[in-house]
Structure 1
Amino acid sequence: MSMIKSYKYFVGNAWHDPAEGGYIESENPANGRVWARFPDCREADISRAVAAAKSAFYDGPWGRMQPAERGRFLRRMGDAISKHADRLGEVETRDNGKLPSMITPALREGAWLVDSFHYYAGMCDKFEGRVIPAEAPDMHNYVKWEPFGVVAQILPWNSPLGTLFWKLAPCLAAGNTVVMKPSEQSSCSTLELMDVLLEADLPPGVLNVITGYGPTTAAPLIEHPAVRMISFTGGTAGGRAAAVAAAQTVKPVVMELGGKSPQIVLPDADLDLTVNGVAAGIFPPGGQSCISGSRLLVHRDVIEPFSERLVQIVKKARLGDPLDPSTQIGPMANRAHYESVLKRIAAAEAAGHRLLLDGRNACRDEGYYIGPTIFADVPNSAELAQTEVFGPVVSTEAWEDEAEVIKTANDTVYGLAAGIWTRDVTKAMRMADQIEAGTVYINNYFNAATQSPVGGYKQSGYGRENGWDGMRAFLQTKSVWLSLNPHQPDPFA
């Protein structure tokens, strides 16, 4: 029997046991067996983490540090991450089943995820104030941006490291300190990262990680009076709860939430390109991505050949242990989610939707495997078309009129992403302007870059991550009025 790895939580550049002694077990979704455990943090642990972050900002060197010096720390962080890319990728795979090919290459030097630290390192001393032409005589009015102080970052279970990097690099570049709370379903890679980042020699308290459940760890952290701003990624229900908790102390929140993203296939689309792109836009991560393009709106003239090709392509996918290099689709990230996806598939079948490919045939006695699942003739009003499954499940619906398909694409509470497949670039751009989504892909899907903002419309969240927008989210605006010729007459003369 293999040893179970035991993590502590990370505060002030040191490791700590939980004050109440509780731990949470992590199952490897590839086999369903416990491989690690991590702390179940409660009030005393939260207070310790927030106090360390507050001290680092107000009393330690971080809050007074010159921007260029912060940039040097961020560069060292990026270098340390790329040095340990294989180690970090393997831990995340064991923790939530993500294929190493989807995380490890992005952590190596020159790759876009790790380069977010280098990108924001260069931005540290690039955000500048501005002078307002005040009409009052002898008055100088200028605007500057300042950090909030202690920021709480709540991370999801599907992509802990990728999401963390999008938040952490701009947050630190802006001058804040951080308390992170990863999901109770996948906390180990975040804790492993802290051990790696000790090599960057950051001042104690700048980075802190507490682990535990939403109601007993995340909610008290969000409500803590010393926490000044919240960055949240997760499901829409969790986002609502975070917003309510933050409202108790009137904190700003940036949140990226769920989606039910449409992909519109026009009759002139290159079907080979389109089928490959649609398949890549959902199935390799097992549909466990907020932007998965799971709602396929295909023109009636091509829906039959499109569906046939899609089924044939995804039937070839190799499911298995994500640590096996030949595996192309890994397991669902945890037992509870695996059972949820199976219930969604059964409900869609019971509702009478035509099943073209049944991923339940991939289920095994060991591990949480579900294969690609394709339903046909699913009206947009159906639960399957409106509810985020977050699994390898797609629905197709035929359309004929361009104006109507835009209405259908927008007929959802979500607005995270969308895809358009056509040879007519002018038409694609016109349609992109009408789609209510934070990101629109034309003849591609699933691309991202540190420089490009991401975020949602409607119930997919608000605020943006990445690029200048991502850094601006972690800064607050201050207006300063300076009298150049101080003179104040008696107001009651």
Structure 2
Amino acid sequence: MTEKRIFQYFANNQWHDPAEGEYIDSENPATGEVWARIPDCREADVNRAVAVAKSAFYDGPWGRMQPAERGRALRRIGDVISKNADRLGAIETQDNGKLPSMITPGLKPGQWQVDSWHYYAGMCDKFEGRVIPAEAPNIHNYMTWEPFGVVAQVLPWNSPLGTLIWKLAPCLAAGNTVVLKPSEHSSCSTLELMDVLLEADLPPGVLNVVTGYGPTTAAPMIEHPDVRMVSFTGGTAGGKAAAVAAAQQVKPVVMELGGKSPQIVFPDADIELAVNGVAAGIFPPGGQSCISGSRLLVHADVIDEFTNRLVDVVRKARVGDPLDPATQIGPMANRPHYEAVLNRIAAAEAAGHILLLDGRSACRDAGYYIGPTIFADVPNSADLAQNEVFGPVVSTEAWTDEADAIRLANDTIYGLAAGIWSQDVARAMRVANRIEAGTVYINNYFNAATQSPVGGMKQSGYGRENGWEGMRCFMQTKSVWLSTDPHQPDPFE
């Protein structure tokens, strides 16, 4: 039997065993075998991490560092990550089953995950204050931007390194210190990154990682009185719990939550383009993306042609071991989620929805594999159309009127992303303006860029990550009133 790797948690640029000595098994989803153990951190470990983050902000060099110097630190981080891209990618594949082709290239120079560090490095000294006209004589009123202090960040299991980078780069650029909690299902690549970042010479305490479960690790971190802000990515239920906890101490929260993203296919759409785009927008990552466009709203005139071609395209997908170069779709990231997706497929079948392609044929004795699954004629009111599956499962519904298509697209508690497929640009833009989603794609899907903000509407969250807005969320404004001729008469004379 292969020896299991034992990880420690990271605080003050040092590695620590959990105070209570408990660990959590981490399985390789490609095989179902335990390959590593991560610390089950509790309140004492969280307190240590928050204490050193607070000290680094108030007493250490980070809190006094000039913005341009922080920028140089962020450039070093980007360069170190690039140098270790293969090492980091290998750990993430082993820990959550993601294909190396979806991880490692993004950590190389010229790709957005590395460019994020350089982008925000350049923004460090670009947040300029301003002078505000004051009506009183000899009074100057000016505004400055300031960091919050210690920020708690909670990460999901589906894309640990990618999500970490688009949270961490703007947060550090703004001058905050950070305590991170990755998902208990995929903590190893984040911990490996901390070892890599020791080469970047960050001051101790600037970046800290505790691992464990939501109730016993994330909760005391969010509730800690020295944590000033919370950034959360995950499911809507978890986001609500985080928001409630933060609200008890009136802490600002930025959160990117679940989605049930619609894709509207118009009768004039390029069907081949739309089919390929829809398939690419959900199936390669196994549907394990918040913006997966899994709710297909197709015009009645083309729904048969569209659906038949979609089935023909995705049934060819090669599901298997992520380390096999021929594999196009890897496993579900962990066993509880694998079982949940299988249950959702069975429930949809039991509800009488037409199953055109059954991904359960990809299941095997070892590992957590599910192939592309397509249900037809699923009404928008159905559980399958309303609730996030987070797996390689799509549903179709026909429509005949543009207004009805928009109504169906918006008839959901979510508002993260949407897709529009039409060769009529004016119509596509008109519909995009009426879709309630933080990101709308027209004749493409699944693109992202460091400079483009990401976030949700409705119960898909609030606040934005990436771009100028992504850094602004990690800063607060201060208004200063300066008298150039101090004179205060006795107000009671």
TM (norm. structure 2) is 0.99
- Could you say which residue in structure 1 is the equivalent of 2:345? 345
Q: Is 1:314 the counterpart of 2:318 in the alignment?
A: no
Equivalent residues in 2 for 1:390-409, closer than 5 Å: 390-409=390-409
The answer for the alignment partner of 1:270 in structure 2 is 270
Residue 124 (structure 2) aligns with = 124
Q: Which residue of 2 aligns with 1:374?
A: 374
Correspondences of 1:254-333 after superposition (within 5 Å) = 254-333=254-333
CA distance in 1, matches of 2:463, 2:226: 22
Distance 2:14 2:161 in 1: 20
Partner SS for 2:230: strand
| Partner in structure 1 of residue 385 of structure 2 | 385
Alignment of 1:131-280 (within 5 A): 131-280=131-280
Equivalent residue, structure 1, for 2:482 = 482
Distance 1:60 1:413 in 2: 44
Distance 1:123 1:6 in 2: 38
Q: State the 1:490 CA deviation.
A: 1.3
| Structural mapping, 1:32-71, within 5 Å | 32-71=32-71
Partner amino acid, structure 2, of 1:229? M
Question: Counterpart of 1:365?
Answer: 365
Cα distance, 1:489 vs structure 2: 1.6
Instruction: Provide the C-alpha distance between the structure 2 equivalents of 1:326 and 1:115, rounded to a whole number of angstroms.
Output: 29
Deviation at 1:114, TM superposition (A): 1.1
User: Match for 1:149: what amino acid?
Assistant: G
Is residue 80 of structure 2 the alignment partner of residue 80 of structure 1? yes
Once the 2 structures are TM-superposed, how far is the Cα of residue 127 of structure 1 from its aligned partner? 0.6
1:3 corresponds to which residue?
3
CA deviation profile, 1:110-146 (whole Å, cap 9, x unmatched)? 1111110011011111110011111122210011110
**Aligned with 2:355: secondary structure?**
strand
- Comparing 447-456 and 88-97, the one that deviates more: 88-97
Correspondence list, 1:429-448, <5 A: 429-448=429-448
Distance 1:469 1:136 in 2: 33
Write the distance in 1 (CA, Å) between the matches of 2:298 and 2:374. Answer: 14
Identity over aligned pairs, percent: 82
Tell me the CA shift for residue 260 of structure 1. Answer: 0.1
Matched residue SS, 1:143: strand
What does residue 462 of structure 2 align with?
A: 462
Provide the rounded CA distance (Å) in 2 between the counterparts of 1:74 and 1:408. Answer: 44
Shift in Å, 1:483: 1.2
Cα offset for 1:34?
Answer: 0.3
Q: Secondary structure at the match of 2:103?
A: helix
Q: Which amino acid aligns with 1:68?
A: A
SS in 2 for 1:113: helix
User: In 2, distance between residues paired with 1:242 and 1:104?
Assistant: 31
Please, what TM-score do these two structures have when normalized by structure 1? 0.99
Aligned residues: 493
In structure 2, distance between residues paired with 1:137 and 1:360: 75
Distance in 2, Cα, partners of 1:394 & 1:54 = 46
- Once the two structures are superposed, residues 246-281 of structure 1 have per-residue CA deviations (whole angstroms, 9 ceiling, x without a partner) of 112111000000000000000001011110000000
Is structure 2 residue 455 aligned with structure 1 residue 422? no
- Aligned equivalents of 2:320, 2:380: Cα separation in 1: 32
Amino acid at match of 1:453: P
How far off its partner does 1:341 sit? 0.4
Instruction: Give 3-state SS (helix, strand or coil) of 2:112's partner.
Output: coil
Deviations 1:173-193 (A, max 9, x none): 000000000001110000000
- Cα distance between partner residues in 1 of 2:428 and 2:226: 47
Please tell me the root mean square deviation across aligned C-alpha atoms, in Å: 0.6
Distance 1:312 1:115 in 2: 37
Kindly indicate whether residue 408 of structure 2 is the aligned counterpart of residue 411 of structure 1.
no
Structure 2 CA distance for aligned equivalents of residues 157 and 436 of structure 1: 26
How far did 1:58 drift?
Answer: 0.4
Deviations 1:32-55 (A, max 9, x none): 000111100011111110011001
Following superposition, the deviation at residue 199 of structure 1 comes to 0.5
In 1, Cα distance between equivalents of 2:456 and 2:166: 15
Secondary structure of residue in 1 paired with 2:20? coil
Structure 1 match to 2:108: 108
Measure, in 2, the Cα distance between the counterparts of 1:110 and 1:176. Answer: 26
Provide the rounded CA distance (Å) in 1 between the counterparts of 2:15 and 2:478. 37
Amino acid of the structure 1 residue aligned with 2:204: P
Q: CA deviation at 1:155?
A: 0.2
* Structure 2 residue runs without a partner (length 5+): none
SS in 1 for 2:378: coil
SS of 2:415's equivalent? coil
Take 2:94 and 2:443, find their aligned partners in 1: how far apart are those partners? 33
How far residue 487 of structure 1 moved from its aligned partner, in angstroms, is 1.5
Q: Deviation string for 1:405-452 (max 9, x for gaps)?
A: 101100000000000001011110000000000000000000000000
Q: Give secondary structure in 2 for the equivalent of 1:114.
A: helix
TM-fit CA distance, 1:294 = 0.2
CA distance in 2, matches of 1:168, 1:394: 32
Cα distance in 2 for residues equivalent to 1:382 and 1:122? 47
Secondary structure of the corresponding residue to residue 477 of structure 2: strand
Aligned-partner residue type, residue 443 of structure 2: N
Structure 1 residues not aligned, in runs of 5+ = none
Structure 1 consecutive aligned stretches of length 4 or more whose deviation exceeds 2 Å: none
Q: Which amino acid aligns with 2:55?
A: S
